[in-house]
Amino acid sequence: MLDARIVKTRAGFTVDVRIQIGAGERLAIFGASGAGKSTILGCIAGLENPDAGEIRLGETKLFPPPLSLHRRPLAYLTQKNLLFPHLSVADNVGFGLANGAVAENSRWLAELRERLGLEAIWNNRAAKISGGESRRVALARMLARRPPLVLLDEPFVALDRPLIRDLIAALDEWQRRLGFILVAVDHRAEILTRLCPQVAAIERGRIIQQGDWNSLATAPATPGLARLLEIQ
């Protein structure tokens, strides 16, 4: 279970949220740009520290004190792909696996490679592949370690619709099978509705409504949320 209470002051407002997600569940964090969504993920991932609060993942306390990044049992797909340009696609995907673990996970890596269509570029340098390919590699790299918590920050930005559909289908299948907790943030409801049945809507750092997408659509808590849902 992920249990996060996060207080973090941003320019103009304070993010103050409590998020609880059970094992194997998914939650979308939905809100306009600048509402504090990425701050929440950044605090859980450890890229920034909350001013106050507590974050636990199962028995592991992530904050406070801040647990070192490399000890956090989670994976974080940011808006940027951040592939290691000097390594091959294969080395990028296997980067987080210890030497012996690459062999142990060969079937899983083969599945990632095949499902995400990486065979043709598997031995190419990461610096030489396209944006869409980079996104698929970043996704494979994130999942290679089979983490218990997956954080997605606007995961499908600037990708074409068929690719988004494929990636959502793959993520959906792997989340069901591996049972990781999935937290996804985006300002586009059309992406999140297909990925997460449950949603927490956020405005200026506060959760203003939580439930399924239907409840949000039928009775949005604020005019701002109603407008954001109408736009989609």
Partner 1 sequence: MSARWFKLLGMAAFTVALLYPLVGLGAHVGRWSWDGGVPGSTAGAVRVSIILTAIAMVIVIAAGTPVAWYLARSAGRDRVIWDAAVLISVLMPPLALGLLLSLAYGPASGLGGLLLRVGVPTSNSATAFVATQVYASVGYYIVAARAAIASVPHELEQTAALLGVAPVAVFRRVTFPLARLGLAAAVSIAWVRALGEFGAVIVTAYYPAGMPVQIWVNLQTAGMPAVMPLLIIFLLTALPLPWLIHLLVQSRDA
Give the CB-side neighbour count of residue 36, counting CA atoms within 13 A: 24
DSSP 169-186: HHHHHHHHHH--EEEEEE
Q: Which amino acid is at 58?
A: G
CB of 82 to partner 1, least distance (A): 4
**Region near partner 1 per CB under 8 A, out of 40-48, 104-112, 192-200, 213-221:** 40-48
Binding mask 41-70 for partner 1 (x = CB under 8 A): ----xxx--------------------xxx
CA distance 124 to 109: 16
The reply to whether 95 sits near partner 1 by the rule CB under 8 A is: yes
**Residue (10 or 86) nearer to partner 1, CB:** 86
Q: Would you say 185 and 155 are in contact if contact means Cβ atoms under 8 Å apart?
A: no
CA distance 134 to 197: 27
Among 52, 82, 217, 221, binds partner 1 (CB under 8 A): 82
Tell me how many residues contact partner 1 (CB under 8 A).
Answer: 21
CA distance 230 to 232: 5
Among 26, 136, 145, 187, binds partner 1 (CB under 8 A): 145
The reply to whether 85 sits near partner 1 by the rule CB under 8 A is: yes
**Residue (44 or 228) nearer to partner 1, CB:** 44
The H or E element containing residue 161 is helix 161-178
CA distance 153 to 37: 8
CB of 167 to partner 1, least distance (A): 19
The residues of the shown chain that bind partner 1, judged by CB under 8 A, are 45-47, 68-72, 74-76, 78, 80, 82, 84-86, 95-96, 141, 145
